[in-house]
Amino acid sequence: MHGSERREQIIRQIQESKAPVSGTKLASLYSVSRQVIVQDIALIRAAGYEIISTNRGYILNQPKTVCRIFKVQHTDEQLEEEMNTIVDLGGCVDNVMIHHRVYGKMEAELALSSRRKVGAFMEDIRSGKSSPLKNITSNYHYHKVSADSEETLDLIEQELREKGFLVEERRQAV
């Protein structure tokens, strides 16, 4: 096994574990020395993963997020307001999805988590690079929205409802 493959597996092992994973256990799993694991952890950290060393082993500091899918409808003129409503309340517009009667489910990743990102997205739309996916389904579409808590998602849902964007359906958990 190459070092890069081992590091990917180490990340996965730490992510999926409910308890800290010791360096000794990792060394045994991958048939390498404890020193190799220490070096791998340093490289993993350098790649941007926030791995914390505890007296019981390694843990990965991952921000906890929750997700919810909202069915919405609005005009092109209201597009920016809809997305800014979500990001202003602490949400991230992860994607947009539609259900087309002929083509089925169509989805595009967005990852819009700030007004700056929403603005850049809107510039792309206004420049004519593309048109919103919602336009082929009479403005009906879905957004997967992530946030730090259910309370934040509840606030987003309430605000989308008050602005008339939310299409009332049974709420779907992700």
> Residues annotated in the binding site for Ni(2+), as ranges?
74, 82, 141, 143
Q: Would you give the distance in Å from CA 143 to the centre of its chain? A: 12
Token pair recorded at residue 113: 């988590």
Q: Find out whether 53 and 45 touch, Cβ atoms under 8 Å.
A: no
**Alpha carbon distance 166, 172 (integer Å):** 13
Per the annotation, binding residues are: 74, 82, 141, 143
Place of tokens 């070092």: 3
**Using CB atoms within 10 A of its CB, is residue 131 exposed (0-12), middle (13-18) or buried (19+)?**
exposed
Token pair recorded at residue 68: 């919810």
Token pair recorded at residue 56: 């019981």
Output DSSP code: residue 134: G
Q: Where are the alpha helices (DSSP H) in the chain?
A: 3-16, 23-29, 34-46, 79-88, 115-126, 150-162
